[in-house]
Amino acid sequence: MRSYWIWLAMLLAAWGLAMFEHGEPQQGMSWRLLVCALGMSAYFLVPIARRMPAAQLLLLALLAVAATASLWPEPGGEPNPYTLLLLAIIAGKGAYRLPLAGASVIGMMTWIGALMPSFYGLPGFSVYYISLFGLAAGVAFCAFRLTYMNEQHEIARGEALLTEYRKLRRLLATNEKAAREEERAQVGRDIHDSVGHKLTALLMQLEVFRMGARDSETAEKLSHLKELAKESLDDTRSAVKALKDSETGGLSAVINLIRRLEVESYLRVNFNLRHGALTVPLTPAQSVALYRAVQESLTNMMRHSGAKEADIVFEAPGGGVFRFEVLHPIQEARPYREGFGLRSMRERMEEAGGKLDIIQNEKTFIVSGTLPLMTKERGMA
């Protein structure tokens, strides 16, 4: 978009100076202004035809014809140097926007347009001068186009490498998680098969000895030992179950996932943790809903505002509710429509027992939400 306005400014400056060089308004100036307006209208339509090279070629050709016609010299005057400058700008626009064949057509049209007044005996530059100027401009445009195409190729190559890098990171994270889960499962099986089975055998032997005890004191001691063995077996089973489900959860896991997203998307995320947010007992469903809400907020930020930095606030005021905010700056406050992403985010938060609010002011877009926390009092009620 910035390049469009740069080209427009150069075009207006060259065309305005060329029209001014004609001097005071004279007979035929009205039709010159009309052709100039038609040519500028064609230029304003060029961005609309960005994905249609044939339409862009037609518009730039119309622009070259309009420039040549509106600046057609009067007999007995002096050559207008700004006409040559204007035609060079149009040829440069063709080299910037069009494929090689289309750019060559526009370059040939502007060269012919610069030569035509001389063929009709009107004030103009010599054929040798215009040919030398066109040759120099053509070499410059070819060098520019080669550099520009190489830059676009490097950008595409960099994006492809970045995509592969992200895939490798996701694959690495998946493999690491699978390896950890397999290792925990193996340790759990070893504990269950060795310690658990031995404690079960010990319980059975203690029960046999207790039933065969001849005095009450020995039977009481064996009952006590049996109770201790049973508690040990229960603790072992609990440890195996905890080991099986020991994947990191809660807010710490959410922050780790966001940090990974930050690295993959080249974002800058500033965390603000308040009021014991790290120790809140989020359920797995709430953790997933929280991460997806933050992820969708950052995705919308990159897609619609173009910002690369966001502030995230986590807090648990009073310990009964968890609250989060995702804030990022916006360049211009525009009406937004709640699309599929925002609706899915809201539905996921509601399924986890929370709610979602979206606020937009002149400079900031804010996505905030709350989740209820399972406190001990609630769990006992």
Q: What is the pLDDT of residue 22?
A: 64
Whether residue 66 is found in the same domain as residue 120: yes
Which residues in 6-97 belong to E strands, given as ranges? none
Whether residue 108 is found in the same domain as residue 72: yes
Among 125, 143, 163, where does a domain finish?
125
Q: Which of 1-10, 147-156, 267-276 has the lowest mean pLDDT?
A: 1-10
Whether residue 239 is found in the same domain as residue 317: no
Q: Which of 3-12, 69-78, 179-188 has the lowest mean pLDDT?
A: 179-188
Task: Tell me the backbone φ, ψ of residue 372, rounded to 5 degrees.
Answer: -75, 145
The SS3 call for residue 19 is: helix
Please state at what angle helix 216-244 crosses helix 127-191, rounded to 10 degrees.
Answer: 170
Distance CA 71, CA 91 (A): 16
Distance CA 173, CA 263 (A): 13
Residue 345 resides in a domain: yes
Whether residue 224 is found in the same domain as residue 294: no
Mean pLDDT calculated for residue range 356-371: 88
Residue 75 resides in a domain: yes
Whether residue 287 is found in the same domain as residue 349: yes
- The number of folded domains in the chain is 3
Residue 84 resides in a domain: yes
Whether residue 69 is found in the same domain as residue 83: yes
Residue 136 resides in a domain: no
Among 57, 91, 125, where does a domain finish?
125
Distance CA 206, CA 199 (A): 10
Whether residue 345 is found in the same domain as residue 278: yes
Residue 234 resides in a domain: yes
Whether residue 296 is found in the same domain as residue 376: yes
**CATH number of residue 346's parent domain:** 3.30.565.10
Q: What is the pLDDT of residue 174?
A: 61
Residue 163 resides in a domain: no
| C-alpha to C-alpha distances, 119 to 123, 127, 129, 379, nearest whole angstrom | 10, 9, 14, 96
> What 8-state DSSP symbol labels residue 72?
P
* Kind and range of the H or E run holding 371: strand 364-372
Whether residue 10 is found in the same domain as residue 80: yes
Residue 158 resides in a domain: no
Among 102, 125, 148, where does a domain finish?
125
Whether residue 111 is found in the same domain as residue 210: no
* Whether pLDDT at 372 is above 50: yes
Whether residue 236 is found in the same domain as residue 259: no
Q: Characterize the bridge pairing of strands 309-315 and 321-329.
A: antiparallel
Residue 135 resides in a domain: no
Q: What is the pLDDT of residue 125?
A: 81
Q: Which of 133-142, 197-206, 367-376 has the lowest mean pLDDT?
A: 197-206
Q: pTM of the entire structure?
A: 0.45
Q: What is the pLDDT of residue 185?
A: 67
Whether residue 254 is found in the same domain as residue 376: yes
- DSSP readout, 162-196? HHHHHHHHHHHHHHHHHHHHHHHHHHHHHHIIIII
Distance CA 306, CA 171 (A): 27
In which domain, by residue range, is 307 found?
A: 250-380
Mean pLDDT calculated for residue range 249-270: 74
Phi-psi region of 365 (alpha: psi -120 to 50; beta: other; left: phi over 0): beta
